Amino acid sequence: MSTIVEILIQTFGKECVRTRDEASVRVASNWRQTEHLNCLALLRPKTTEEVSKILRICNEFNQPVVPHGGLTNVVGGVVTKPDEIALSLERMNGIEEISVQNKTATVQAGVILQNLQTVLAENGQHFPLDLGAKGSCMIGGNIASNAGGLQALRYGVMRNLVLGVEVVLADGTIISSLNKMVKNNAGYDLKQLFIGSEGTLGIITRAVLKIDDLPKSKNTAFVAVESFEKANLLLQVAKKQLKNDLTTFELLWQDYYRLMTSPPSPYSPPLPQTYPFYVLMEALGQDADKDKILFDELLENWLQDGLIADAVIAQSQQELEKVWGIRENVDLIFSVHSPVFLFDVSLAISDMDDYIKKIRSDLQQVWPSLHFYAFGHMGDGNLHLFINCGTNDEETKHLVDAIVYQPLQQISGSITGEHGVGLEKKSWLYLTRTTEEIELMKTLKKALDPKGILNPGKLLPD
């Protein structure tokens, strides 16, 4: 009797099917890139029909399948066991249609986010999902993880940017829900089921995305504030005065800023390192001259009023890259402190300051020489924490997780604002979701994937 890999090779050919040995030249994950891929086979379908046929065969053989996009997931969502098949969407990378008039782009799931942005820019258009991993992550992965990123304050998260999807279910059924309308109330909004489902409910093969006119102005400032309260006030004032143009509002605690602007960082400090908080704010607009005048005036006023303590406005591409580098160069943390635990909690802005103070102090009681870095998308209530306490054994990880996650339950926060649950957070899901919610998730999983072949062991608690 033929094995499933032999059947897959016979059916789809070697261009589509890579054996274990052939697949092992790849990394298991593009995040940190420490291990090689070890899977039963790596499949690279070219069409939705091929994905459908593959899943039909895998379902028949009870064969687990792990969807692979750009592999930038940071919560173990793409971890593939030796007896599992990896299904990469990388060859389904076509941009099928850009409609400037209807403000939609129809794309295959394997399109790399940055490639889409480049092609759209050539057409005067803009897809406003922006994240550090944009050069590798794919639209299918962005949808499956409901990515957020650096412009969510203005444009929302992936959930707000997708109009329609095409999905293949575990048994091979193709669900074509490539809706292009903003308003469509004809029954359940099925796409929402798959957005953020982390590959557990279906394979996303195509999508219709909302696009917008490419902004004509970009004004970026890096400012220092004297307190968290002032940072929050600045956010409110900037929202009112810059209106819809305010696109990014990123907060950096002092420790993070110091690390990012001290050797071995390539960046010198644009502002003194003595302030407790720093904000990177960016406004995108449609009138280059007017927008710049307004932005400069507002900065001037905020300085005079004492709302901000100090500021630099990025005047060149080099300065722009520098302030963004200070915010985004997280790899530096790993080169300076290893091992590092990474978190992406969500909570009300009004709870942020106390929460960070509490967990920093709770962690320091256990590890007095701890390194603790906080920063993130303040405007969206979503913070990243990078924590180094010397070791990364299971017991330490569990204790750090408990200290970071448990206080979130009381303040109705979330254990993840954007990275998702994957393998890493599933045992903490109960802190953010009720028992009934988790049971309903399990019911949906059973209904759509009764044999449990899609990304098994991820997202849902055992």
Q: Which residues bind ligand FAD (CB under 6 A)?
A: 31, 66-74, 77-78, 89, 109, 131-133, 137-138, 140-142, 144-145, 147-149, 198-199, 203-204, 418-419, 455, 458
Nearer to ligand FAD, 102 or 329 (CB): 329
- Bond before 339 cis per omega within 30 degrees: yes
Minimal distance in Å, beta carbon 33 to ligand FAD? Answer: 10
Minimal distance in Å, beta carbon 141 to ligand FAD? Answer: 2
Minimal distance in Å, beta carbon 69 to ligand FAD? Answer: 3
The Cα 200–Cα 295 span in angstroms is 45
Here the contacts of 16-21 (C-beta below 8 Å, separation 24 or greater) are 16/43, 16/44, 16/45, 16/46, 16/50, 16/91, 17/41, 17/42, 17/43, 17/44, 18/42, 18/43, 18/44, 20/82
Assign 3-class secondary structure to the chain.
CCCHHHHHHHHHCCCCEEEHHHHCCCECCCCCCCCECCCCEEECCCCHHHHHHHHHHHHHCCCCEEEECCCCCCCCCCCCCCCCEEEECCCCCCEEEEECCCCEEEEECCCEHHHHHHHHHHCCEECCCCCCCCCCCEHHHHHHCCCCCCCHHHHCCHHHHEEEEEEECCCCCEEEECCCCCCCCCCCCCHHHHCCCCCCCCEEEEEEEECEECCCEEEEEEEEECCHHHHHHHHHHHHHHHHHHEEEEEEEEHHHHHHHCCCCCCCCCCCCCCCCEEEEEEEEECCHHHHHHHHHHHHHHHHHCCCCCEEEECCCHHHHHHHHHHHHCCHHHHHHCCCCEEEEEECCHHHHHHHHHHHHHHHHHHCCCCEEEEEEEHHHCEEEEEEECCCCCHHHHHHHHHHHHHHHHHCCCECECCCCCCCCCHHHHHHCCCHHHHHHHHHHHHHHCCCCCECCCCCCCC
Nearer to ligand FAD, 110 or 270 (CB): 110
Minimal distance in Å, beta carbon 435 to ligand FAD? Answer: 24
Minimal distance in Å, beta carbon 352 to ligand FAD? Answer: 17
Minimal distance in Å, beta carbon 393 to ligand FAD? Answer: 24
Q: Which two tokens stand for residue 288?
A: 């280059």
Nearer to ligand FAD, 107 or 299 (CB): 107
Parallel/antiparallel/unpaired status of strands 162-168 and 174-177: antiparallel
Closest-by-Cβ residue to ligand FAD is 141
Nearer to ligand FAD, 84 or 401 (CB): 84
Minimal distance in Å, beta carbon 183 to ligand FAD? Answer: 26
Nearer to ligand FAD, 50 or 198 (CB): 198
Which residues lie below 8 Å from residue 326, measured CB to CB, with a gap of 6+? 222, 252, 257, 260, 261, 267, 270, 280
Nearer to ligand FAD, 305 or 462 (CB): 462
Minimal distance in Å, beta carbon 108 to ligand FAD? Answer: 9
Minimal distance in Å, beta carbon 142 to ligand FAD? Answer: 4
Nearer to ligand FAD, 26 or 230 (CB): 26
Minimal distance in Å, beta carbon 91 to ligand FAD? Answer: 12
The Cα 358–Cα 151 span in angstroms is 28
Nearer to ligand FAD, 210 or 458 (CB): 458
Nearer to ligand FAD, 132 or 325 (CB): 132
Minimal distance in Å, beta carbon 457 to ligand FAD? Answer: 11
Nearer to ligand FAD, 149 or 381 (CB): 149
Nearer to ligand FAD, 132 or 269 (CB): 132
Minimal distance in Å, beta carbon 398 to ligand FAD? Answer: 22
Nearer to ligand FAD, 140 or 381 (CB): 140
